């Protein structure tokens, strides 16, 4: 065997962990879990709030624009109906006048 293979075999041999290893690992994972929870809560509370506010404002703005467009459409419809009534009335007056002239 080569020296590299000997070094690799020596590095890969099974050894018992030092005393208290399991407790230290579990303690660190619990600490990281708490830090992760705090980190996530900080992101959601401080960074997500402005994003949610912007989304809310944008959706309110879009809803308002749609409402305004609908109101303008209804107003235009009413104005068109009034214009058609006026035009119909004028045409009726002209027709009556033309009939009187023909007689």
pTM: 0.46
Q: What are the pLDDT tens digits along the chain (103 aa)?
A: 688 888 888 888 888 888 888 888 877 777 666 665 665 666 666 677 788 889 999 999 999 999 999 999 999 999 999 999 999 999 999 999 999 988 8
Quick check: is 2 in a domain?
no
Q: How many Å apart are CA 40 and CA 94, to the nearest integer?
A: 78
For 1-103, list the strands marked E by DSSP.
none
Quick check: is 12 in a domain?
no
What's the domain range around 46? 20-102
Would you state the torsion angle of the CA atoms of residues 72, 73, 79, 80, taken in this order, to the nearest 10 degrees? 160
Quick check: is 9 in a domain?
no
The total domain count for the chain is 1
Quick check: is 28 in a domain?
yes
Quick check: is 14 in a domain?
no
Quick check: is 13 in a domain?
no
Quick check: is 3 in a domain?
no
Quick check: is 30 in a domain?
yes
Q: How many Å apart are CA 85 and CA 95, to the nearest integer?
A: 15
Listed in sequence order, the DSSP H helices in 13-47 are 21-42
């Amino acid at each position: 065997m080569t020296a590299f293979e000997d070094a690799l075999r020596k590095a890969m041999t099974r050894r018992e962990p030092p005393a208290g290893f399991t407790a230290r690992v579990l303690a660190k994972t619990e600490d990281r879990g708490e830090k992760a929870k705090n980190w996530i809560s900080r992101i959601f509370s401080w960074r997500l709030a402005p994003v949610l506010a912007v989304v809310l404002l944008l959706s309110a703005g879009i809803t308002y624009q749609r409402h305004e467009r609908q109101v303008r459409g209804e107003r235009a419809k009413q104005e068109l109906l009034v214009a058609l009534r006026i035009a119909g009335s004028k045409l009726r007056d002209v027709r009556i006048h033309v009939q009187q002239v023909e007689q």
